[in-house]
Amino acid sequence: MTLQERFARNLKRCREELGWSQEQLGSMVGSDRTGISRLERKAGKITLQRAEALATAMEMDVRILLETPVTASLHRRPPGDQTSTAQIGAKVLELRTAEGVSQKTLAARVGIDRNLISRLEAPGENQLAPIELSTLEKLATALRVKPTDLL
């Protein structure tokens, strides 16, 4: 199961446990019922920023929705510190350097352009688009850590 699939299933479980409709959740994050339905069905790509907004609306830490196996109970935990591309970039740089891997090698492992790794790791880089959950998962796999270890 992919990170996005786990998030989608846990999002739905959390929403249902709260007794909220898709429309209610959508209105809290500037979406509609169709948008929430699409996310819960894993249709389309979701960014970490969007995942965090949804979790925060439900007063849940996004890490719980990303980590909890779908067969396990969701243990409610209030939102923690918000994640940022800069934090993720710093962690990627730290892990990549500790492993002695070049940006080019890491990019090849992940299947993305080396320039994306370079922009991600650049301090204060504001031009980077939000990271998709699938990219976060690929980075974590390439660096041999859990996706939430990068947050």
Residues 100 and 141 in one domain: yes
Residues 105, 59 share a domain:
no
Whether 33 contacts 26, CB under 8 Å: yes
Same-domain pairing of 7 and 51: yes
Question: Could you tell me if residue 16 is inside a domain?
Answer: yes
Question: Helix, strand, coil proportions of the chain in percent (round to 5)?
Answer: 60, 0, 35
Q: Is residue 78 one of the residues assigned to a domain?
A: no
Same domain, 13 and 42: yes
Asked which of 67, 93, 108 is the last residue of a domain, the reply is 67
Q: Does 131 score more than 80 pLDDT?
A: yes
| Number of domains observed in the structure of the chain | 2
The CATH number for 138's domain is 1.10.260.40
Q: What percent of the chain has pLDDT over 70?
A: 97
Residue 75: inside a domain: no
- Cα–Cα distance between 115 and 12 in angstroms, integer? 35
pLDDT digits (tens, 9 = 90+) for 65-74: 999 999 999 9
pLDDT of residue 126: 55
Give the whole-angstrom CA distance, residue 15 versus residue 117: 34
Domain that includes residue 45, residue range: 3-67
Helix (H, G, I), strand (E, B) or coil at 47: strand
Looking at the fold, whether 56 and 90 belong to one and the same domain comes out as: no
Range ranked top by mean pLDDT from 43-47, 54-58, 72-76: 54-58
Model pTM greater than 0.85?
yes
Which of 43, 34, 37 shows the shortest CA–CA distance to 15?
Answer: 37
Domain boundary among the residues 67, 93, 117 is at 67
Pair (101, 138) in one structural domain: yes
77-128 residue pLDDT tens: 878 777 888 889 999 999 999 999 999 999 999 999 999 899 899 876 555 7
pLDDT value of position 84: 83
Domain-embedded: residue 20: yes
